[in-house]
Every structure is written in C-alpha cells, then in structure tokens.
Chain A
Amino acid sequence: MKIIESVQITEAVKEMCIEVNYKLSEDMHEALRQAGEREESALGVQILEQLEQNMKIAAESKIPICQDTGMTVVFMQIGQDVRIEGDYIEDAVNEGIRRGYKEGYLRKSVVGDPIFRKNTEDNTPGVIHYEIVPGDKIKITVAPKGFGSENMSRVIMLKPADGITGVKQAVLETVKAAGANACPPMVIGVGIGGTFEKCALLAKKALTRKVASYSDIPYVRELEKELLDEINGLGIGPAGFGGTVTAVGLNIETCPTHIAGLPVAVNICCHVNRHITRVL
C-alpha cells in the first residue's frame, strides 16, 4: 500500500490549474498551426493568425489565453493500492482549485446555486470524477471547461434503429447549431453508448485525448475521420466568419449500452481545449 498525502494532491491541482490556463498543450498548438495551412478563407487565415498571436502574448505577458478560465473539471484515477492521508480528497482537490485560481489570476466563474447565482469567488467547487483503477498511483487530469462551447453541447437519446447514420446526423446538427458561439475552430468529444450520464462523461473524456489521435476500433476511427471532414465542409470557419476549418479534432469514445438504446453525447470545446495530466 502506497501512502499519498492530501497536500500533494492540493499542490498538484493548484499548479495544473495555473499552467493549463496559460499554455496550450503541444498537440493543440500543432493542430492550430496546421489549420492555418488548410484554411481557404482569407479572413479565416487572419483569425487563426490572431489566435496564434494570442497564445504568444498569453505566454509572454502572463495573461490567461482566454478570459473564460472555465469551471474546473478534474478526473481522478485512483489506484486501489493507494491510501490517502490527511484531508478528505474532495476538499484537497477543491483547495487546489481555490489556490490555483487565486494565485494564477484566473477568473472566478462559478456560482453557488444555479438559480440564485451568487459567485463563490474562488471558482470552487470543481466537477470531480473519481475512478478506481489497478495500481498504486493517482493520475490527475485537470480540464477547465469554458461555457461558450459547453452551452452548445447536447445529449441525444437515439433509437437503435437510427444506427451510425443517426449518430452522424446528431453530431453534425449539434455542431451546426453551435456555430460561432462555440469559438471555432472547435474540438469535439463524442460519447456513444452507456446510459444518459455515461455517454456525457465519455464525451468529456474524449476531449482530454490528444487532439489528432484516433480510436483503436476500426469503425470508430473511420467515423472520426468522416465526421471531421463533414464538419469542416459545413463552412462555419474560424470564429464562425466562414471558412474550411471549423474543427481541428474529433474524438469518439464508445461503451456497451442497453438493448433499447443508443445514447449519443456531443461535448463541444473551443480552440482553447485545455487539459493537463500528472501522476502522483
């Protein structure tokens, strides 16, 4: 049994919250750079150049890439041979978020009650997902989520008869409706199967995969490629001003489902697709 102190979790979450909001991962950088080469609209190219410049300024002047530094989504994969000592794990994670958003000059974007809407002033609570896995390590992924794109995401409960055609239609319609609101070029996470909540979680997880990665399942890989091509044919373009680059990545995760169902979740993310992982 390995012992991990809760303060180690707090410190890691704090550092990750800050780092991820100032610097995009290398795969996102590369995807955006390649997008600039593919874009056919002159205005689209100009927008993509501005986004590149924006990331440079963010790093140099220590200004977050986007003012929406997100609601903090945290995936905790906890090895079953780990024992956590100190504070309750949920408090440890939230303390990391609290410190990260304060010390990192990040925006406090969370309200305590969805109807009365008073800001909690420290960006807590985060949305924390726990998974018990084999081993003696804790893998933490911090993925702050902006709501311009989150608001455009959907869960669609298809019928088994809708099949793969229905899935494609659901994804395309969601992206079309998202349009400029989602700050294209987007990254799209799709979850297929499971239950109502499971497919949504899969879609969120799909966003934390490398942006240009493909599924190991042959038909899913084909679907990822086909959908990305069709989305880029929609003409939405960078910032929604028209163009050939509407999305720079689309990742699909699947899982078993019920004989009566075909749940599909489409989680849309803007070009500031932030995720960072650390293992304790």
Chain B
Amino acid sequence: MEHHIRMPLTKDKVKELKAGDYVYITGTLYSARDAAHKRMYESLEKGEVLPFPLENQIIYYMGPTPGREGQVIGSAGPTTSGRMDKYTPCLLNQGLCGMIGKGKRSEEVLSGMKQNTAVYFAAVGGAGALLSKCIKKSEVIAYEDLGTEAVRKLYAENFPVIVAADSEGNDIYDIK
C-alpha cells in the first residue's frame, strides 16, 4: 500500500500505516542522532524544555555531510536507529509520533510505540545522495556545537520511506 502524508502526523494517520507500506512524507522533519538524543534525554531528566516540540513530529536519525554552495544539504541518509533505543521511549512519552532510520528497534521502543501510537519508518541506508534531493530546506535549530549532530529543522518533499514497524507492533524485519 502507498501513502502520501503531510506533516504533522496525527494518531489517526499513524494508525493507517502498516508495516511494509510505502510512504512519501512532505513537511517538517527534525534531524537528531546520538549526541542530540543524549542531550534531549538529559534535559528531560532535569525537567527542562526541549529545543523543539515533539508532539506529532518525526525525528530523522541523520547527520549530513556539509552542502556545497547552492545545495540545501549534502548527503543525508539514515543512520542505525538501534543506538537511539535507550533514549526513545521517553521521547515517545513526550508525544513524538514517528522516527526515520534503519535497522531493528528494541522491544522497549516497539512497546512504547504501541502505547503512544507512533510509527517507525526505514529509509534506504547508503542512499544519502538520492535522499538529499527530497530535502528542500535545512536549518540548524539547536545544539549547533555538535556539528553534523546538531538538530536541524528540515522541509522534505515526497521523502521516500517504508513502514518498518507500525503502531500495532508489526515489524518488517521480522516478517520475511
């Protein structure tokens, strides 16, 4: 099944997405990977406010290469999601609705997704040049000192992903 969705997500939209479906996403995505997740996690532990709203949003696990003049962004493919598993349940509890990465998630993440009606998408690993063409705007909005690991607000058009795990706990990496 194929879906074209516009951001932000809603719980109803998330429920329609099933493991294995093709999805093209248009709208805002936030990039964050290892170091940014650690900071967000520590902020939440201290009761601080996060630098961007998680409610109904998608985090893209990605750290790009720098863009050349005239390029919005450089190579921009997904990184391995499993490294973010430790930090993810608490972000889901804050309203995070979706994640884009690659590879399997932990049981804790899958059950957090069920509880919070969230979806996990996979983009094709190693296709960073191709995926960069779907990113039309990019702006660093937090943790600038982290370089490639800073949080970026991206605007994507028809960003191609596959539902890797849906809100009912079905996992494409287990189906085959």
Residues on A lying within 8 angstroms of B by beta carbon are 47, 50-51, 53-55, 57-58, 61-69, 105-109, 117, 119, 121, 148, 151, 179-181, 183, 235, 237, 239-242, 270-272
| In contact, B162 and A67 (Cβ under 8 angstroms) | no
Partner of A68, one of B66, B79, B147: B79
| In contact, B128 and A121 (Cβ under 8 angstroms) | no
Min CB gap B84→A, angstroms? 12
B80 / chain A contacts, CB cutoff of 8 Å: 148, 151, 181
Residues on B lying within 8 angstroms of A by beta carbon are 35, 62-68, 71, 74-77, 79-80, 82, 102-104, 122, 124-130, 132-133, 146-149, 162, 172-173, 175-176
**Chain A interface mostly:** loop
Chain A residue with minimal CB distance to B160?
A50
Chain B residue with minimal CB distance to A120?
B147
Contact A181-B104, Cβ < 8 Å, known A47-B124, A148-B125: yes
Offer 24 A-B interface pairs, CB within 8 angstroms, sorted by A. A50-B130, A57-B129, A61-B129, A62-B68, A63-B74, A63-B75, A64-B74, A64-B129, A65-B126, A66-B127, A67-B65, A67-B77, A68-B128, A105-B68, A106-B65, A107-B66, A108-B147, A119-B146, A179-B173, A180-B125, A239-B102, A239-B124, A240-B103, A272-B126
Partner of B128, one of A66, A105, A117, A237: A66
| In contact, B125 and A67 (Cβ under 8 angstroms) | no
CA distance A68 to B80 in the complex (A): 11
Contact A69-B35, Cβ < 8 Å, known A180-B122, A239-B125, A271-B126: no
| In contact, A148 and B146 (Cβ under 8 angstroms) | no
Chain B residue with minimal CB distance to A178?
B103
CA distance A29 to B162 in the complex (A): 25
A235 / chain B contacts, CB cutoff of 8 Å: 176
Tell me which of B35, B64, B76, B77 has the highest count of chain A C-beta atoms within 10 A of its own C-beta. B77
| In contact, A67 and B173 (Cβ under 8 angstroms) | no
Chain A residue with minimal CB distance to B147?
A119
> Which 6 residue pairs across A and B have the least CB separation, nearest first?
A242-B176, A183-B125, A181-B103, A67-B75, A58-B129, A63-B129
| In contact, A183 and B65 (Cβ under 8 angstroms) | no
A55-B129, A66-B129, A68-B77 known; 9 new pairs, CB 8 Å cut-off, are: A51-B124, A57-B129, A63-B71, A63-B74, A63-B128, A69-B65, A119-B149, A240-B173, A272-B126
B35 / chain A contacts, CB cutoff of 8 Å: 117
A68 / chain B contacts, CB cutoff of 8 Å: 77, 79, 128
B126 / chain A contacts, CB cutoff of 8 Å: 51, 54, 65-66, 183, 270-272
| In contact, B64 and A107 (Cβ under 8 angstroms) | yes
